[in-house]
Amino acid sequence: MSNEKDNVYKVYDKITDWFDTHRSRELFEKPWLDKAMSYLKPGACILDLGCGMGEPIARYFIEQGFDVMGIDGSEKQIDLAKTRLPQGQFRIADMRDLNLGEKFDLVIAWHSFFHLPQDDQRAMFETFANHLNKGGILLFTSGPDAGEVWGENGGENLYHASLSPSEYKDLLSDHGFSLLDHKIEDNTCGDATIWMAQLNCVTANNQEKCP
């Protein structure tokens, strides 16, 4: 078994076939996706960080008429996404190093962001803000409280980490976001802990100061 902590996408390369078989396509995430989409105009641009093979989330966005770019570190997962969803754009990249030079109306990191070590998660909030238009929506999942855990998927160890709810709130505020909705262990959504926020101002790196 692997004990890969810093680059979990390498584990997903190993378990791609298992994950493709076992990843639910029932779209239990739909209420939260619909809530985020309610803030978007038709044809808006969406950045899906840790998109995997693009199913079911990127597929759902594409079917709703949105322009989707999916990013994942796993080459095998991205290959599947490109094959199955030619309407989308899919690139191999580590979200921690992302600097696309483009802005989006929604950035989503569903069950992907929580695979990053805690310090990497803290640094990601600048990346989120830098890739969102003003007024854009951020949707991500985390753990319910601060800590690190290992899970077993497809015969491989899979690392997860989380900050505390109070720290996530501070990071959102510090980077110009207002919190729109938050649910800890939503039992209607696979017990996911979910955050939805809106970028109200542009960060200093984008030459406009937040109040």
CA gap 77, 153 in Å, rounded: 15
Vertex 26 angle, CA 194 and 14, to 5°? 80
Tell me: the pLDDT tens digits for 15-68?
888 888 878 888 999 999 999 999 999 999 999 999 999 999 999 999 999 999
- Residues 176-188: what's their mean pLDDT? 97
Q: Which amino acid is at 191?
A: D
CA gap 171, 161 in Å, rounded: 16
Tell me: the pLDDT tens digits for 142-174?
999 999 999 887 888 899 999 999 999 999 999
Lowest mean per-residue pLDDT among 5-9, 106-110, 178-182, 187-191: 5-9
Show Cβ contacts of residue 12 under 8 Å, excluding neighbours closer than 6 positions. 19, 52, 72, 73, 74, 76, 77
CA gap 145, 167 in Å, rounded: 10
205 confidence band (pLDDT: 50, 70, 90): very low
Secondary structure (3-state) at 184: strand
Per-position DSSP letters for 68-114, written without gaps between them: EEEEES-HHHHHHHHHH-TTSEEEE--GGG---S--EEEEEETTSGG
- What share of the chain in percent tops pLDDT 90? 79
Q: Which amino acid is at 184?
A: I
Q: Which of 29, 35, 30 is nearest to 198 (CA)?
A: 35
Q: What is the DSSP letter of 41?
A: P
Overall residue count recorded for the chain in this entry: 211
Residue-range domains of the chain with CATH:
9-206 (3.40.50.150)
Tell me: the pLDDT tens digits for 87-142?
999 999 999 999 999 999 999 999 999 999 999 999 999 999 999 999 999 999 99
6 confidence band (pLDDT: 50, 70, 90): confident
pLDDT at 152: 83
CB 195 within 8 A of CB 185: no
